[in-house]
Chain A
Amino acid sequence: MGCSSSLPDRSAGRVGGLNPVNGDSDAKNLRVKLVLLGDSGVGKTCIVLRFVRGQFDPTSKVTVGASFLSQTIALQDSTTVKFEIWDTAGQERYAALAPLYYRGAAVAVIAYDITNPDSFHKAQHWVKELQKHGSPDIVLALVGNKADLQEKREVSVQDGIDYAEKNGMFFIETSAKTADNINQLFEEIAKRLPRPSPS
């Protein structure tokens, strides 16, 4: 905050230092920055770990700052998409840092917990912030996680669909625990990405 220093890799990122060097991204091999936002405890890390490593760990591990993971998927049209994922911490003290991670992101996944209405409201707050400060062509996805806990559901599917439609977002309900819809989430995102025009 109060500190400043010369940026060692000033030439690297075009928009900001936390964006990868876009050198090897072409029409067939996309490389995208994805940021995962949402209230604490909605399962952001679980979604990412299920997607990247196929694992689910029920013990809650609070994310500190942000974790960085990447995963490549192949689409049916033989393009590959490498997701470089910033899994951010949901705690209030990190909220001010979020721009650091979503700046320049091509995709933002905003997650909430279907058993927790507060987290749904928090998700709406994130959507507004990204509409204001995110990249203009950012792909937004709204994710209702913990879909396996049907009996504890407090946010209806329709509420999620309605809100997503109103805001031009892609909507899906997932369960990191059962792996339901996790891969679908990322495949759908990949399909919606703007393709760079072949040069």
Chain B
Amino acid sequence: MASNSTSQPPSSDEEEEEEQGANSTVQKPNSNSIDNSLDAIENQLSSISFTSPIDETIAVVSAEYYHESVSEINDSSLNGSYEAAGEIRIDNNNSVGESSHASGSRVWMNNNVEVEVEAEVDGGLSSPSSSGYAGERGSSGGSVSSGSGTDVIREVRDNGESVGDDGVNMVDSVQAEWISGKRHADEDDASISWRKRKKHFFILSHSGKPIYSRYGDEHKLAGFSATLQAIISFVENGGDCVKLVRAGKHQVVFLVKGPIYLVCISCTEEPYESLRGQLELLYGQMILILTRSVDRCFEKNPKFDMTPLLGGTDAVFSSLIHLFSQNPATFLHAYTCLPLAYATRQAAGAILQDVADTGVVFAILMCKDKVVSLVGLQKSSLHPDDMLLLANFVMSSESFRTSESFSPICLPRYNPMAFLYAYVHYLDADTYLILLTASSQAFFHLKECRIRVETVLSKSNVLNEVQRSMSEGGLHIDRLPVDPSARSGSLFHQNQRSQPESVVGIGGPAGLLHFIYRSIYLDQYVSSEFASPVSSPSQQKRLYRAYQRLYASMHDKGIGPHKTQFRRDENYVLLCWVTQDFELYAAFDPLADKGAAIRICNRVCQWVKDVENEIFLLGASPFSW
């Protein structure tokens, strides 16, 4: 049981041994820790007996399928159910070696558990909850190949895009819906639609009580939650810690934070590090709402039910999960500024500084997810992740738009144990001011501060400039300067103002599609505006996923860090360049020439340096104090 963690690529013998070892532990779950989930375990066991004979039957199918899926590199990842279980054999031989070698971290691998989880997630082979799935189960043997066949056809036709995280019927137009809170609350783990979702997130307590689920009603998922808890706790009983279970196309990523467990089940092919980072942010979002003092509730009562404490916050979490595929800040750990003329940002910074000097801990002026300016009390530092979580909290809570508000919030990286008090006020439809203070009594003071800030901003025309920048955007790749001598050094000069018609620009030189430049000292990044052909949300999501993989591979502690990477697949040429000062991620047309791409990257870096006054918040960085 203790040999569950593998630090070396195991030989096939070892793998078999492991398989058996784990098999026996499944059958002997430690009784004191998982008493309430024995039912779930029993169902697990039945699933094992179901899977083993089928394994052989579908081996052929899966081999074909595997080739199919390799050629489809992006997240058109097979949310179908049957093929994956059969694929385990292939996948395991690769992945055990790969992941334990590559990440150097402890990855706990176990064939039987994989099969179980697979069965649960997809519901193709058995049901973790005793009822509700009998009909499906009956068809398992014969229809296996045809089932996966149709799935492949559909996936390929969809090109893996419209399927999205939401699996079956995700359409781009659903995009606006997430804000209204939880989707598909009527589902539970017996629903076929629930099982086909591509990316699940769960928060549960160490006693197995559900706290949050991305899809479905938490209360109905109690049994499923207990199963997750059982998996975590029996590995813990062996003095080990489960981080990742790979089950065919699915990855099950675990994060343990004291009495709180977080789990992501995903078939999006995102790297383990990225999914784990997303769980960290999800935890941070919860801390922002409740502080870590919530741990004490579990000390008093291990069976404490946390769901009422998070009442009404579904929209905050679902919005954050949405950002995981829409906002590079979630994996870059940097924030981005709204492009503004230097003097405009200075004017905003000056009035914020004025206000901060009267006892405000942080004064932040933002437009959607972009920073206009921010100022902090000396020695206080605001982590980019905290800013992301704070901005997400404000933007996803509709009530802030209605009137000025005063609310306790916690910045997890600043002080996870204590609340600050946030005064939030929208100055126009997109622009909002957040003033943070340690005093619960300071509302009227902050209200006065806001009135001063608002007066100055409208007098100095800052709000209009902010609106203009929002509609015009910053770095358009088709305006990448060709001739260094002709550089204007500003984004806000003469001719560029007179091009309002190009809402979605054309691609840049040498097939440049998009780039992200991250300044390491400033903790800020800037990305180019999206241009054709990366114009639809699903294409943007695909590109962000590609950047995310690139980021993870560049920062891989096992085989990295790297300085440059050039990668070509059927969607993009990706070029990454990391120096002490910056990281550049650039995407080109898949046919782009390597030499030309490198030259363009140099020009991009020069361009960014030329206009850094306008795209970054300089000097006033609260991080360098």
Counting CB contacts under 8 A, is B397 at the interface?
Answer: yes
CB-defined contacts of B397 to chain A, threshold 8 Å: 62, 64
Contact, CB under 8 Å: A97 / B311: no
Interface string of B382-421 (1 = CB under 8 A from A): 0000000000010001111011111110000001011110
Contact, CB under 8 Å: A16 / B402: no
Contact, CB under 8 Å: A6 / B444: no
> How far apart sit A45 and B399, CA to CA, in the bound complex (Å)?
9
Contact, CB under 8 Å: B407 / A1: no
* Also in contact, A66 and B419, with CB within 8 A (given A1-B291, A17-B444, A61-B399): no
* Also in contact, A2 and B418, with CB within 8 A (given A17-B443, A45-B399): yes
* Also in contact, A67 and B419, with CB within 8 A (given A8-B358, A8-B442): no
* Also in contact, A61 and B418, with CB within 8 A (given A66-B406, A68-B443, A93-B290): no
> How far apart sit A61 and B315, CA to CA, in the bound complex (Å)?
10
> How far apart sit A13 and B445, CA to CA, in the bound complex (Å)?
10
Contact, CB under 8 Å: A67 / B403: yes
* Also in contact, A91 and B417, with CB within 8 A (given A17-B439, A97-B408): no
Q: How many B residues have CB within 8 A of the partner chain?
A: 43
CB-defined contacts of A7 to chain B, threshold 8 Å: 439, 441-442
- A117 to B: closest C-beta gap in Å: 18
Contact, CB under 8 Å: A4 / B438: yes
- B441 to A: closest C-beta gap in Å: 2
Counting CB contacts under 8 A, is A92 at the interface?
Answer: yes
CB-defined contacts of A2 to chain B, threshold 8 Å: 415, 417-419
Counting CB contacts under 8 A, is B309 at the interface?
Answer: yes
Closest to B180 in A: A59
Could you tell me which residues of chain B, from 414 to 457, have a CB within 8 Å of some CB in chain A? 415, 417-420, 422, 437-445, 447
Counting CB contacts under 8 A, is B258 at the interface?
Answer: no
CB-defined contacts of B403 to chain A, threshold 8 Å: 67-69, 87
- B434 to A: closest C-beta gap in Å: 12
Counting CB contacts under 8 A, is B191 at the interface?
Answer: no
> How far apart sit A67 and B402, CA to CA, in the bound complex (Å)?
8
Contact, CB under 8 Å: B405 / A68: yes
> How far apart sit A9 and B358, CA to CA, in the bound complex (Å)?
10
Q: How many A residues have CB within 8 A of the partner chain?
A: 37
CB-defined contacts of B293 to chain A, threshold 8 Å: 1
From the candidates B180, B309, B437, B444, name the one contacting A21 in the complex (CB within 8 A). Answer: B444
> How far apart sit A110 and B532, CA to CA, in the bound complex (Å)?
55
Contact, CB under 8 Å: A64 / B442: no
> How far apart sit A91 and B312, CA to CA, in the bound complex (Å)?
8
Counting CB contacts under 8 A, is A63 at the interface?
Answer: yes
> How far apart sit A20 and B445, CA to CA, in the bound complex (Å)?
10
Contact, CB under 8 Å: B404 / A64: no
* Also in contact, A8 and B419, with CB within 8 A (given A3-B438, A68-B403): no
CB-defined contacts of B309 to chain A, threshold 8 Å: 91-93
CB-defined contacts of B417 to chain A, threshold 8 Å: 1-2
- A176 to B: closest C-beta gap in Å: 14
Counting CB contacts under 8 A, is B359 at the interface?
Answer: yes
Closest to A52 in B: B403
Could you tell me which residues of chain A, from 55 to 112, have a CB within 8 Å of some CB in chain B? 59, 61-69, 87, 89, 91-94, 97, 100
Contact, CB under 8 Å: A13 / B291: no
Counting CB contacts under 8 A, is B247 at the interface?
Answer: no
Counting CB contacts under 8 A, is B308 at the interface?
Answer: yes
CB-defined contacts of B180 to chain A, threshold 8 Å: 59
From the candidates A9, A45, A91, name the one contacting B442 in the complex (CB within 8 A). Answer: A9
Contact, CB under 8 Å: B441 / A64: no
Counting CB contacts under 8 A, is B615 at the interface?
Answer: no
Contact, CB under 8 Å: A13 / B441: yes
Contact, CB under 8 Å: A66 / B442: no
Contact, CB under 8 Å: B311 / A40: yes
> How far apart sit A184 and B445, CA to CA, in the bound complex (Å)?
32
Could you tell me which residues of chain A, from 1 to 47, have a CB within 8 Å of some CB in chain B? 1-9, 12-13, 16-18, 20-21, 40, 45
From the candidates A17, A59, A66, A91, name the one contacting B441 in the complex (CB within 8 A). Answer: A17
Closest to A101 in B: B406
- B426 to A: closest C-beta gap in Å: 12
Counting CB contacts under 8 A, is B289 at the interface?
Answer: yes
From the candidates A8, A13, A16, A67, name the one contacting B405 in the complex (CB within 8 A). Answer: A67
> How far apart sit A61 and B359, CA to CA, in the bound complex (Å)?
31
CB-defined contacts of A59 to chain B, threshold 8 Å: 180, 398
From the candidates B311, B420, B442, B447, name the one contacting A93 in the complex (CB within 8 A). Answer: B311
Contact, CB under 8 Å: A9 / B444: yes
> How far apart sit A92 and B310, CA to CA, in the bound complex (Å)?
8
Counting CB contacts under 8 A, is A189 at the interface?
Answer: no
Counting CB contacts under 8 A, is A161 at the interface?
Answer: no
Could you tell me which residues of chain A, from 89 to 142, have a CB within 8 Å of some CB in chain B? 89, 91-94, 97, 100
- A93 to B: closest C-beta gap in Å: 5
Contact, CB under 8 Å: B399 / A3: no
Closest to B443 in A: A18
Could you tell me which A residues sit within 8 Å of B by CB distance? Answer: 1-9, 12-13, 16-18, 20-21, 40, 45, 49, 59, 61-69, 87, 89, 91-94, 97, 100
| Cross-chain pairs A/B with CB under 8 angstroms, 6 sampled | A1-B419, A3-B419, A5-B439, A7-B439, A7-B442, A67-B404
Q: What are the 4 A-B residue pairs with the smallest beta carbon separation, nearest first?
A: A65-B407, A17-B441, A62-B312, A3-B438
Could you tell me which B residues sit within 8 Å of A by CB distance? Answer: 180, 289-291, 293, 308-313, 315, 358-359, 361, 393, 397-400, 402-408, 415, 417-420, 422, 437-445, 447
Question: Can you name 9 extra interface pairs (CB under 8 A) apart from A8-B358, A62-B397?
Answer: A1-B291, A5-B439, A17-B440, A17-B443, A17-B444, A64-B397, A65-B422, A68-B443, A92-B309
